[in-house]
Amino acid sequence: MIDPVIASRLQFALTTIVHIIFPVMSMGLAPFLVYFTWREIRSDDPVYEQLRRFWTKIFAVSFVVGTVTGIVLEFEFGTNFAAFSTVTGELFGGPLATEGMMAFMLEATFLGVFVFGREKVSDALYMVSAVAVGLGTWLSAVWILVANSWMQTPRGFEMVTKNGQSIVSLVDPIAAYANPRFPWMFVHMQNAAVLSVALFMAGIAAYHVFRHYHWEYPVQNVAFWEKTLKIAIVVLVLTAPFQVLHGDAYARHVADTQPQKFAAMEAVWETESYVPEYIIAVPTNLEDLTDPRAKELLGLGIPGGASWLVSGGDPTATITGLNEFETEAPPVAIVFWSFRLMVGLGFWFIVLAFWAAYRWWRGELREDDLLHKSLMVSSLLGILAVEVGWIVTEVGRQPWVVQGVMKTADGVSPGLSGFDATVTLVGFAVVYLGLLTLYGYVVARIIRAGPPTMAESEQLTLDDATASAAGDD
């Protein structure tokens, strides 16, 4: 049997890694759907109705599966991390409850109108439903990230004793919920979600365009896929550079507030200056892979880059090494390599965005088969970048569950046995991987079916109008 602390951490990590895919899809799609709806109402171009109908299907599936998998995460605070919930519940429970009462209910209430009510309500009310669904989706992220950011930079509380137990007491809600980490996490996460969906759109659209023009396999509605590709490219050009620039500033904030995490991100063990920033790092042996130390790695690096990053411009700045901290170091290998992968993907997304924009500007977007293949291969890499980014965030904080306040091992449910934890870990792995497989199958079916043709879209509109008129009679 696995130790209950390890099993609980693995279970929460597994469920989070699977769950985050669905909020990324729904949060990233929300601005697109608002735009498609607005253009559908304001213009006579039927392609925007096609875009709205097609991507709403994927949004709805993502919302449903995300709701199911997200509820389970909150239950795990009681089943696996009851001690953490007991100590921090007064502060941590508020944002989670508000997320359900405010954001989820707003989104769920208007989702039915948005999915099924196009021909049954006015254009104005339908536009309101699109905005409300998108707003609800993003408000969910607000409250979840408020709770998580407080765990990274806890503020606005004091420790008090109740019934003989030391617990967190909320004394300053503004300081706690508007803590220094929240704006960094929210902007970075939401931009990452939009970027990830833009890559997903671009990859799917490039596949259909490639089939049509290079395989000489006629694709119905190829104009729809070309429009999708162009919209995705515009969004990529806006979001990819911003993500890297914002990430640079975000890393500096991490260095100021969680220096041990930053040292793990750069694999700095001894305090030193002029530390390079390795974009590509290659271990010289297996030991370097599992226990990386920046000065012993080979690779492509920027001399003094990490020092410049931590100081905001001084390549000779000193970085405090992991050996200087009193608590145990985080799992450095996981944090270090995840950070490298995230940064590398970020720069690749910039290359893709401007490569595609250049080809479009030259009028060669249809002809560049290498670009199409690159976009296809990269269609899910945005989600991968989100995953490794969260690994850096959560694993880099270890051994703390609340930075400087409570260690993860102390937050696990005291009565949880190794047998119980192992059985539920295996059970959750089977169920969640099954849900992920089913989600992938359903989304693939939607993509293979493609958007409704212009004639089908017009017929759908006519049928809805006829049904509405019959109901009025």
DSSP 299-346: EEEETTHHHHHHHTS-TT-EE--GGGSSSPPP-HHHHHHHHHHHHHHH
Residue 79 in this model has a pLDDT that exceeds 70? yes
Please state, in angstroms and rounded to a whole number, the distance separating the CA atoms of residues 330 and 403: 12
Contact between 342 and 189 under an 8 Å Cβ cutoff? The reply is: no
Mean pLDDT over residues 377-385, rounded? Answer: 96
Residue 464: per-residue pLDDT = 45
Mean pLDDT over residues 38-51, rounded? Answer: 91
Enter the tokens of residue 410: 């102390």
Give burial (CB, 10 Å; 0-12/13-18/19+) of 115: middle
Reference 206, options 380, 379, 454; nearest CA is: 379
Residue 2 in this model has a pLDDT that exceeds 60? yes
Q: At what angle do helices 4-19 and 21-42 cross, to 10 degrees?
A: 20
Residue 159 in this model has a pLDDT that exceeds 60? yes
Mean pLDDT over residues 317-332, rounded? Answer: 89
Enter the tokens of residue 84: 């953490």
**Other Cβ atoms within 10 Å of 402 Cβ, number:** 23
Q: Which own/partner contact pairs does 396-400 have at CB distance under 8 Å and 24+ positions apart?
A: 396/258, 396/261, 396/264, 396/265, 396/330, 396/335, 397/151, 397/152, 397/258, 397/261, 397/330, 398/330, 398/331, 399/327, 399/328, 399/330, 400/327
What are the pLDDT digits (tens) for 214-267?
777 777 788 899 999 999 999 999 999 999 999 999 999 999 999 999 999 999
Distance of CA 186 to the CA centre of its chain: 10
Mean pLDDT over residues 438-443, rounded? Answer: 95
The answer to whether the pTM exceeds 0.85 is yes
What are the pLDDT digits (tens) for 124-152?
999 999 999 999 999 999 999 999 999 99
